[in-house]
């Protein structure tokens, strides 16, 4: 994880500084004098060579200091921490919805192969994978907010203030993200379970007189879940880190929206800090997935 994070930090720093735009002009405006621009650029350390800027930034990152926002002077770590609960809640609600749909649909499609249930689930999964998130979000807002008036179209309410209002505001964003994850996971669950159902030990279970439910629950699903866990882990990391479009559409004050705002404002430290946070999320999720492998399949051992 350490060398990967080091390489990611280099890429992040390089891409940010190759992006067109000058944060000094963004802060002072086009009318600012050259002396004022040079003075602010020196204060921010942007007048130094890029390798020197990177070394100074990396030295602070190692100690947990991600720097300060150019626009607000707020510590980057504090800004991320403030937005993180919203993104975490959205990601876990979306994943809960995805799993509630994907596992039953995948199991039914695998155990009823070639039937109407299998074909119907295939069509629904293809629609779920093919439909862009922003299009589904607009459709949900039109139906449930503008037409039926059941749910608020945008905005966020803290669960501490109003739990019911919070859940109402998070339903549509969570469904928007969860549908795509459910479609991909359901198809993988079906194919993985079909492969396992053809193994000798499953046929032996049926030959011993076990009913279908017991065979699937006790013998087949545990092995079939290994590739599913991989995809679910990656999807969870993706949901935690890239719900940018969904958070922007529904005006949720999460990390994704923070990324958009910081890019528009050319806030280099904030963009770098948030992107590095996304990289850490993916690495940690992959580590947890590797640990779950050993639990699901006793034959897997790490030494």
Which of the four pLDDT bands, split at 50, 70 and 90, describes residue 301? low
208 in a domain, yes or no? yes
* Whether residue 131 is found in the same domain as residue 43: no
* Whether residue 23 is found in the same domain as residue 111: no
CATH number at residue 98: 1.10.3720.10
* Whether residue 192 is found in the same domain as residue 271: yes
* Whether residue 48 is found in the same domain as residue 114: no
Q: Is 6 exposed, middle or buried (0-12, 13-18, 19+ CB in 10 A)?
A: exposed
302 in a domain, yes or no? no
Whether the per-residue pLDDT at 2 is higher than 80: the answer is yes
Sign of the CA dihedral running 103, 228, 86, 252: negative
33 in a domain, yes or no? yes
Could you report the per-residue pLDDT of 123-150, keeping only the tens digit for each?
888 888 888 888 888 899 999 988 888 8
Greater model confidence, 294 or 10: 10
* Whether residue 49 is found in the same domain as residue 146: no
70 in a domain, yes or no? no
* Whether residue 87 is found in the same domain as residue 55: no
72 in a domain, yes or no? no
How far apart are the C-alpha atoms of 270 and 214, rounded to whole Å? 52
How far apart are the C-alpha atoms of 212 and 208, rounded to whole Å? 11
Burial 41-71 (b: 16+ CB within 10 A, else e): beebebeeeeeebbeebeeebeeeebbbbbb
Q: Which domain holds residue 39?
A: 2-62
* Whether residue 230 is found in the same domain as residue 117: yes
How many Cα atoms are found within 13 Å in the side-chain-facing hemisphere of 12?
A: 25
Q: Is 239 exposed, middle or buried (0-12, 13-18, 19+ CB in 10 A)?
A: buried
Sign of the CA dihedral running 149, 153, 158, 161: negative
* Whether residue 170 is found in the same domain as residue 55: no
pTM: 0.79
Whether the per-residue pLDDT at 24 is higher than 80: the answer is no
State which of 14, 31, 62 marks the end of a domain. Answer: 62
Contact 156, 79 (CB under 8 A): no
261 in a domain, yes or no? yes
Least confident range of 29-38, 73-82, 293-302: 293-302
279 in a domain, yes or no? yes
Which of the four pLDDT bands, split at 50, 70 and 90, describes residue 242? low
DSSP secondary structure letters along 108-169: HHHHTTTSHHHHHHHHHHHHHHHS-HHHHHHHHIIIIIIIS--S-SS----TTT-HHHHHHH
* Whether residue 191 is found in the same domain as residue 272: yes
68 in a domain, yes or no? no
Q: What's the total number of domains in the chain?
A: 2
């Amino acid at each position: 994880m350490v060398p990967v994070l080091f390489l990611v930090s280099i890429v992040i720093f390089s891409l940010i500084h190759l992006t067109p735009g000058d944060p000094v002009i963004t802060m002072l405006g086009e009318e600012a004098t050259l002396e004022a621009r040079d003075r602010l650029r020196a204060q921010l350390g942007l007048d130094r060579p890029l390798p020197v800027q990177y070394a100074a930034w990396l030295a602070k990152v190692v100690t947990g200091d991600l720097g300060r926002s150019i626009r607000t002077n707020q510590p980057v770590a504090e800004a991320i921490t403030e937005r993180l609960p919203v993104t975490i809640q959205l990601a876990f609600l979306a994943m809960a919805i995805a799993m509630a749909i994907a596992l039953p649909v995948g199991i039914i499609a695998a155990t009823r192969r070639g039937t109407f249930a299998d074909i119907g689930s295939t069509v629904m999964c293809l629609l779920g994978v093919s439909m862009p998130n922003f299009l589904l979000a607009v459709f949900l807002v039109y139906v449930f907010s503008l037409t039926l008036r059941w749910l608020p179209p945008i905005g966020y309410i803290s669960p501490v203030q109003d739990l019911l209002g919070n859940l109402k505001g998070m339903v549509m964003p969570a469904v928007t993200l969860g549908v795509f994850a459910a479609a991909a996971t359901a198809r993988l669950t079906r194919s993985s379970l079909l492969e396992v159902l053809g193994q000798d030990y499953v046929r032996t279970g049926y030959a011993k007189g076990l009913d279908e439910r017991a065979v699937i629950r006790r013998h087949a699903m545990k092995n079939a879940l290994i590739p599913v866990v991989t995809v679910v882990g990656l999807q969870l990391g993706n949901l935690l880190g890239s719900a940018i479009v969904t958070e922007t559409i529904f005006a949720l004050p999460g990390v994704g929206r923070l990324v958009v705002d910081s890019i528009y404002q050319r806030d280099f430290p904030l963009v770098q800090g948030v992107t590095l946070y996304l990289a850490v999320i993916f690495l940690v999720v992959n580590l947890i997935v590797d640990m779950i492998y050993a639990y699901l399949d006793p034959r897997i051992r790490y030494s």
